[in-house]
Every structure is written in structure tokens, then in C-alpha cells.
Structure 1
């Protein structure tokens, strides 16, 4: 049986607690949330499982050593002490990435990555008179070095490779598509678990719909990915990987409620359906050529409405006030018995919705400061709950 070790899952700012909950539910030990990251403990099989299943992780790092430094020379010398042949062959390929918060180093992450690359190459040349080549796109090993503000350097192996938001299902996108990790995070923040209907009334390329369906069906987030970085590691256990993958596939279930999306653009509907088919979810999601502002709720029972409307920074709006007022009017008159959520960076425009928010959550969309807001839509003249915070 594999022994346990510490790992770090990186994420988007604002999704740390969501990722912590995901890890705990998956069976991680010693889960501790930080800033844009969550530390946890598990074994090799859990590392495979985390990469396959987690919806709000960007990458899973496996730290191999920590050391304190005062300058670049100490960083280089400590990197030379690592037994790199344990992780990489002379004939292999590698790539490096650095993040630095320490004032004692050159304030340039590219320089830190370059220094790491030099140390690894020099290590092999000194011992084997040959060295592995650098391959930025498809290396056998990705090395991540992070130096914190106190000069503590953490050297980690990147087990994911490409960012885990690259699920593998999205072939076609519209303007300003939402990141898959952010999409899943918003859905989980809303409390949706597949136990009611789900509507995205401005669905674009269907990312929110696909992520919602994967949650409802308990489909591992990255089941469609072609590869993970750990598959090229020297100690990769292919048999264990397939056992983990099969165990997750056996837990997939059919959704019990409707999942549907609307878009007023025929091109968006076409792209959405292509992405849905590529994710093998065509039988579970319906996309319709409908303008949300002319629509009504045609499903019965509790419903989560969740969407990513255009806002000034993403797509140009000619009439911001009218657009947000139409959102509020449509929800109020045609979507009773629903919880409506949407994300926006235009905080001022929220006042035009004309409904009282029951929740406001600060979240980042790329470099934009946004609010993820909730409206409770009741039948008749009932007002939203008063706990506005």
C-alpha cells in the first residue's frame, strides 16, 4: 500500500472553501485552506483520484522538498542537492515554473524558472555528462518552485500538467467563455447537487450546463482529459490508475431533474450542442433557441437558475440599465419557485435588477472583481428573504 504524503491543490481566489469541501468528501486527510490553494494529505491513488475528480482544482502539486534561502546562489545550490534522477531520466524532458514572493530574489518568475532549469541541467551534466531536454508543451516532468515572502522555497512536482480547467470537452466557444473551474465553483457555491431542475438562460457555449450535468450525474470532472502529467512519471502505477478510474465511473448516475439552457443566438446554440455531445451528455441536457427575456419557466418544482450574463468588461452592453432591469422583470414575473444566481463585475448595475439579493459572494473572474448574487423568486407578492449580506 502506498504511503501518504502532503499535496497542494491550487484554485481560483474565492473557491478555497469549495475545494476544501470537495477534498473532504473525496476522503482527503488534514485539509487546510490557504490563499488560492488547499493543502491535504493522501496516497498515490488519492493523487490520481484528485486529478480525475476534483471540479474546482487547477492543478495538484506534490512537494518533494522545502528549504530556506537568502539569495539566488543558495537557491541554486539547494536545487543541486536534489537527486533528480529519482524523478527524471537523462533522456527525458522537463519544464520548470516559478512563483516568487521573496525580496531577496530577482522579482521575475521567468528568472526563477530559468534558474531552476539551469540547476537541473547542471546536476545531470555533472554526473552523467548529458542532460534531459526542455519541452515546454509535453514534458516528462514539470517542476514547480515557489518561494514565499520569508525565503522558504518549496520544490514540487506538478502531477496535473495542463491546467485542470481544460476538461477536454469544450471544442467550441463564444466570446468571453467562463472558465470551467469557475463554472463548477459557482454551481457548488449555489448549493446545487442535482436535486432540482437547473436552467442557464444565457448558456453560450454550455460550460455551466455541462458542469451542472456532471455534478448531477457524479461524473468525474476530468474524465474526458487525454492525459495527466503523472502518467509520464517514473513511478506511475498504470494498474492503480485504472482501478481508481473504474471505481469513479461505477459511481456515475442518471440525473433525476431537468437540465436546460437557452440562448438567443443560433450560433451559440449550435456550439453549445456540439460541446454537450463531445462531453457525452446529449441525452441529459436540452438547449433551446430562446431569448430569456421572452421566456417562462416551463418546468415544475424547485429550480436553480444560474447564468453568466454579459457585463461591461466582458461584452459590450448598449443599455446596461435596461438589460439588468429585464433580468429582474423576467425572473419576477416568469420564474416563480426558483433560486436565481448570476455573476457580474458591474456591481452598480445590480440596483437595476429591482429585486433584493439574499446572498452576495465576492469572487474573481480572471482579474475582475465580481459578485455572485442570489435572488429568491417566490410566487405571488412574497418578498425575498431579509437576510441580505
Structure 2
């Protein structure tokens, strides 16, 4: 099978698959391939935090014109996967000198499938772009066409808990990947100081409590398949939920907008996480660290793409607030505006290249020490003369 993901998340997705029990894991670009049975396919869709889709390859063939495409699709016995009275849709990605238009490829592949059904049964399945019974994925790379079944349906970032959003909400998979890259494991206090609709908070709580990422999702594509096994699915859900662990620290979120606070609280409640997450209306720049021990901070500040802010002033205030009010904090945030980082006034200890949608971004880390950094590293040095 193939798990699709964002650029920069391949390694952490491979690690997730390894922990989950996948076999023969291989990293690619924006994807990780692996082997597993039907139960593992269910488990991967339910539990993987950094996967966007899980594809199940069923056929590969050479393609160099529309005739070879039609013939290759006709080689597949489609009634193994679909009934004549059901519906399907075809998604196409192309990187080939032989084909220029994905819609043309989808149309020719559709013709092959419906012709096969007409020849065998005298009737054909319908096309349904919004809610099909079967979603077929075609990937043409040069002269190789890979045909796969989409086991997930809509992208796995649709977790099922977020009904209310603000301007520029962060993708749930992106939020989970940022948290995992930051090293968040639930063993400490957590703060999102600009929480918006609460996505980072929800993902942080699910990681801390080992709750499957997609436990709140309403449906997966495989539930409409001919070999759907409801009992096996229930067994997988129960086995994953047995890994739940209690959380003994704090997860807090701030936002200065009352509407954002209300939406975040609603989403956290929808995810059944309000026992672990508290949200309050506060301007981060007027706050200070409330916990005594180390604090883990991850957030998604505005960076001028869809939210209008004075970047220089805003990012300078981020740096000043961290320096003055948040000692003992590992602060991570994502930005697609590299110029904005110049105004923070702190040197990041890490920069990780990611993409927020189509925007190239950086996930940056700032280590805010108790006292000065110099003092921290000099505590173990003996006084002069000894």
C-alpha cells in the first residue's frame, strides 16, 4: 500500500507506520510505501496522523497512447471491486510526455471500465464525483501507469471534529506533523498562544492521550467496498482505543478574538477532548508563562497571506514576549514569510522546510532558557583557578 503525505513528513510517517506494525516500509517523495493486510489498512486509516490518503495498488502497466491506456484498464477485472449498479470516480496525476490533460486520461479510463460492465452485464456503473462507491487513483509517471484504489475517500485531514473554522485554518495533518517534528509526546505542559479554531490543540491532545487521529471521522472509502468487514473494523478500533493513556499535564490555548475562542471550544468539544484542553481569550503579548516546569509551545501565527498584519511589529512582539515572559520554553511556529523571522530578534535553533498548502514554509524552533543561554551552559564549568 501507499500512504501519501506532505513534503517533509516522509520520515515521521515511516516511523508511525513502523510503530503501527507495517512491513517493508520504504520512503519516497510525499509518500511512504508499506505492506499490510486488510486489518492493517483499516488501522492505518484510523491511526496515522501524518497520512493524507492510503492507496491500495491493484495493477501497473506501460502506457504511451490512449489505446494502451484503454487496454491496460480493461485488463483489470473491475467487478471484483464494483457492482454495475454502483458509482465510481477516477482521480489522475500525470508526469508524462504522452499525456497532457488529466481529464482526458480520466475519461478514457472511465470508458474502459463502463465498456467492460456493458459487455458483461448490459448495464454500467455511474460516475459520482462527490460521494462515489469506489474512488480509483491513476498515476502516470513517464510510461508507467499505476492503478490504485483509494481506501480513504476524502483526505484524512478531515478528522471529523472541526466544524467551525476561522480565516486561514491550519490543515490537521500539517498540525500533527508539526507537533511530531517538534518532539511533542505529551510528557509536559503545552501551549498554543494563537490557537485559532483549535486544530493544533486537538492534535496535541490526541498525541498526548494516544487517541487515534481519525477516530471521530464519519466514514472511510473502504466501508463501501465489496469486501468490507465491519466486525474486523470494530476489532481494530477496540485494539487502538486500548492504547489510550491518561494525560497529567496541561494543554492550553489562547486567542485574542472571542469568535475564535468560541469556535475552538466547540471543536475541542466535538473531539471529546475538553477534559484535557482549556482555551481562554487572551492576547499572547499580554501573557506570561504560568507553569513552573518546561513548556512546549507550537503555533501558527499569521504571516500576511490571508490575514492582514503589520509583520515587523507583530513578529518583534513574538520575540519580545518569548524572551521576557516565557523562560524555560521550547517555542515552535510555522511561517511562509522568511522576512518575518528577521524581526523576531532571536536565533532559531532549528529550521525545517515544509509546505503550508502551496506556500513554502519553515517550521522554526526557539529555545528560551531560564536566565541567559550563556549562564545555562556555564553552570557546569568550575570557577577559574580550580
TM-score class normalised by the smaller sequence: over 0.9
Aligned to 2:292: 300
Tell whether the 8 Å contact from 1:376 to 1:385 is kept in structure 2 after alignment. no
Tell whether the 8 Å contact from 1:356 to 1:384 is kept in structure 2 after alignment. no
CA distance in 2, matches of 1:179, 1:370: 14
Aligned to 1:24: 18
CA distance in 2, matches of 1:300, 1:48: 41
Tell whether the 8 Å contact from 1:377 to 1:384 is kept in structure 2 after alignment. no
Aligned to 2:209: 217
Could you give the per-residue CA deviations for residues 11-62 of structure 1, whole angstroms, max 9, x where no partner exists? 1111111111111111111111111111011111100000000011011000
**Equivalent position SS for 1:253:** coil
CA distance in 2, matches of 1:116, 1:31: 30
Could you give the per-residue CA deviations for residues 132-162 of structure 1, whole angstroms, max 9, x where no partner exists? 111112211111110112x111000000011
User: Is structure 2 residue 348 aligned with structure 1 residue 354?
Assistant: no
Aligned to 1:160: 152
**Equivalent position SS for 2:162:** coil
Relative distance call for 1:50 and 1:384 in structure 2 (3 A) is: farther
Aligned to 2:54: 60
**How far off its partner does 1:300 sit?**
2.2
**How far off its partner does 1:249 sit?**
1.1
2:42 to 37, 42, 48: 48
**How far off its partner does 1:195 sit?**
0.8
Tell whether the 8 Å contact from 1:358 to 1:385 is kept in structure 2 after alignment. no
TM-score using structure 2 length = 0.96
User: Is structure 2 residue 317 aligned with structure 1 residue 315?
Assistant: no
Segments of structure 1 that go 5 or more residues without pairing to the other structure are 1-6
Aligned to 2:129: 136
Tell whether the 8 Å contact from 1:97 to 1:112 is kept in structure 2 after alignment. no
TM-score using structure 1 length = 0.95
CA distance in 1, matches of 2:203, 2:374: 30
Aligned to 2:8: 14
**How far off its partner does 1:314 sit?**
2.8
**How far off its partner does 1:321 sit?**
1.0
**Equivalent position SS for 1:352:** coil
Aligned to 1:4: none
1:230 to 213, 222, 227: 222
Q: Which runs of 4+ in 1 moved over 4 A?
A: 383-386
**Equivalent position SS for 2:222:** helix
CA distance in 1, matches of 2:307, 2:64: 46
CA distance in 1, matches of 2:292, 2:132: 51
**How far off its partner does 1:382 sit?**
1.6
CA distance in 2, matches of 1:112, 1:304: 48
**Equivalent position SS for 1:85:** helix
Aligned to 1:99: 93
CA distance in 2, matches of 1:72, 1:254: 56
Segments of structure 2 that go 5 or more residues without pairing to the other structure are 378-386
**Equivalent position SS for 2:290:** coil
Aligned to 2:117: 124
Aligned to 1:37: 31
CA distance in 2, matches of 1:181, 1:132: 33
**Equivalent position SS for 2:318:** helix
CA distance in 2, matches of 1:246, 1:255: 20
**How far off its partner does 1:87 sit?**
0.6
Relative distance call for 1:338 and 1:137 in structure 2 (3 A) is: same
CA distance in 2, matches of 1:108, 1:287: 47
**How far off its partner does 1:119 sit?**
1.1
User: Is structure 2 residue 318 aligned with structure 1 residue 324?
Assistant: no
**How far off its partner does 1:323 sit?**
0.7
CA RMSD of aligned residues (A): 1.3
